[in-house]
Amino acid sequence: MRPKKLHPTGWLEHGAAARLVWPLAALALLLAFNFLFTEGFFRLEVLDGHLYGVLIDILNHGSRVMLLALGMTLVIATGGVDLSVGAVMAVAGAVAAVLVTKTNLPFGAVLAAALGVSVAAGMWNGLLVAGFRIQPIIATLILMVAGRGIAQLIADGQIITFSDPRMVFLGNGHLFGLPFTVTIVAASLAVTWALARRTAVGLFIECIGSNETASRYSGVNARLVKFLVYAFAGFCAGVAGLMAASNIKCADSNHVGLYLELDAILAVVVGGTALTGGRFYLAGSIVGALLIQTLTTTMYMRDVSSDVAPVPKALVIIAVCLLQSPVFRSQIVGLVRRGVWTLRPAGGKAS
């Protein structure tokens, strides 16, 4: 009895198709809205062999959240969360900016240093969570608070501007007509996918998030896996930080990545991965990040200040949570069966 085609985790995760429906539908809806009502949303033009347009901007601006979401997906899948990724972005940017402007280190070494520091930050979180068994939300809160201070320390309180062409290329260059950030995201996605699906790490992550006790009893080294995912999240934050700094050609430790971790968490949750852990969907997280960015861009193009963009984000979070919540779903089912007039609040006494 051989399965007719290759096992579904060939390139798309188990059951991903079903989970992707919602965010893709929402994205499609948003794009359709723009197609009908927003002038020039879908216009693309070629200049100097590079593609330009609103759609390209979405890909470009959303690249940071997409990158953060990749690492965050794995962390959330183990049942944890990482609030420090925004701060780590700031640190990475500061390290790179300082090294590039104040030393003569080869560019490769600069990248290695910045990413190394980011991975170290992630390992710090991993040590607290897996080693000291501190709750993830608390453990990563520490770096979230201190991280920016560390970044400013490294940058000596300055906003360090740089003009090194290779550094600038990261966030502003083009490859094959598309912004280089798109390439970075695609490469990161490929690396993450390979790490998760071509090794057993993804399986371990999913089983730890789904039932940690049973996983331990089956011999899975839960502590090691948890440690690794936080380190990886740090790495992703480092890459995102480099792209962010490069984009504005400076390292602004105060503002870079501010609250971006929350966007990343939102992207992951929208993409189908449950906050409590278990099955994760890398593709879903990417779609989630795209959805958030499209939302922001839509508002911008409708002349709504980007500062107001958080409002629809809030509604999206609540909508996703409600849809994922079994309480809400059973209420809806009950409503449909009994009719709206018997609506009663759930919860209350011990049941």
Partner 1 sequence: MRIAIKRRHIPLAATALVLALVYAAAAMKFPGFFSLRVLVDFFKDNAFVGVAAIGMTFVILSGGIDLSVGAVVGFTSILIATLVRDHSVHPLGAVALALLFGSALGALMGCLIHFQKLPPFLVTLAGMFFARGLGFLVSGESIGIKHPFYSRLMDVGLPLPGSATVPLTALVFLAVFAAGVYLAHFTKFGRTVYAIGGNEPSALLMGLAVGRTKILIYTLNGFCASLAGVVFSLYAQAGNPTWGIGTELDAIAAVVIGGTLLSGGVGYVAGTLMGVLILGVIQTAIAFQGNLNTWWTKIAVGVLLLVFILLQNLVSRVSARRAGTIADCGLRIALREPQGPEHGRRAD
Partner 2 sequence: MHASEPFLQMRGITKTFPGVRALSNVDFFVRRGEIHALMGENGAGKSTLIKVLTGVYPRDAGEILLDGIGIHPRSVAGAEALGISTVYQEVNLIPHLSVAENICLGRQPTRFGKIRWKAVSARARQALERLEVKIDVSQELSSYSIAVQQMVAIARALDVSASLLILDEPTSSLDETEAAELFAVMRRLRDQGLGIIFITHFLDQVYEVADRITVLRNGERVGQFETARLPRIQLIAKMIGREPEAPAAPAGAAAKGAPADKAAFLEARGLGRKGGVEPMDLAVGRGEVVGLAGLLGSGRTEVARLLFGIDKADSGEIRIEGKKTVLASPRRAIEKGLAFCSEDRKTEGLIPDLSVRENIILAMQASRGPLRRLPMGRQVQMAEHYIRALDIKTPSPEQTAGNLSGGNQQKVLLARWLAMQPRLIILDEPTRGIDVGAKAEIEKLVARLAAEGMAILFISAELEEVVRNSHRVIVLRDRAKVAELAGTEIDEQVIMHAIARHETEETPSDGMA
Q: Which residues bind partner 1 (CB under 8 A)?
A: 81, 132-139, 141-153, 156-157, 253, 258, 262, 265-266, 269, 275-276, 305, 307-315, 317-318, 321-322, 325, 327-328, 345-351
Pair of tokens at residue 67: 């990158």
Pick between residue 102 and residue 198 the one whose CB is nearest to partner 2. Answer: 198
Indicate the SS3 state at residue 31. helix
Window 60-99: contact mask with partner 2 (x via CB under 8 A): ----------------------------------------
**Shortest approach of partner 1 to residue 190 CB, angstroms?**
30
Interaction partner, residue 335 (partner 1, partner 2, none; CB < 5-8 Å by kind): none
Tell me which amino acid residue 203 is. L
Task: Check residue 79 and report its DSSP letter.
Answer: T
Say if CB 290 and CB 98 are below 8 A apart: no
Q: Which of helix, strand or coil describes residue 280?
A: coil
In angstroms, rounded to a whole number, what is the distance separating the alpha carbons of residues 222 and 232?
15
Of 104, 213, 305, 342, which one interacts with partner 2 (CB under 8 A)?
213
The H or E element containing residue 168 is helix 165-172
Under a CB-based contact definition with an 8 Å cutoff, are residues 293 and 67 in contact?
A: no
Pick the binder of partner 2 from 38, 183, 210, 324 (CB under 8 A).
Answer: 210
In angstroms, the CA 212 to CA 194 distance is: 23
Q: Judged by CB, which is closer to partner 1: 112, or 145?
A: 145
Choosing from 7, 45, 307, 344, the residue that interacts with partner 2 (CB under 8 A) is 7
How many alpha carbons lie under 13 Å from residue 309 in its C-beta half-sphere? 17
Structure tokens at 47: 């200049």
Binding range to partner 2, per CB under 8 A, among 25-33, 93-101, 117-125, 220-228: 220-228
Site for partner 2 in 9-48 (CB under 8 A): 14-15
Token pair in block for residue 134? 């501190």
Q: How far is the CB of 45 from partner 1 (least distance, A)?
A: 31
CA-CA distance, 320 to 259, in Å (whole number)? 19
Which is nearer to partner 2, 5 or 337 (by Cβ)? 5
The entry of partner 1, partner 2, none that residue 49 binds, CB within 5 to 8 Å by partner kind: none
| The one among 161, 199, 325, 330 contacting partner 2 by CB under 8 A | 199
The DSSP letter of residue 255 is T
3-state secondary structure of 279: coil
Residues at the interface with partner 2 (CB under 8 A): 1-3, 6-8, 14-15, 198-201, 203-204, 206-207, 209-211, 213-221, 224-225, 278-279, 349-351
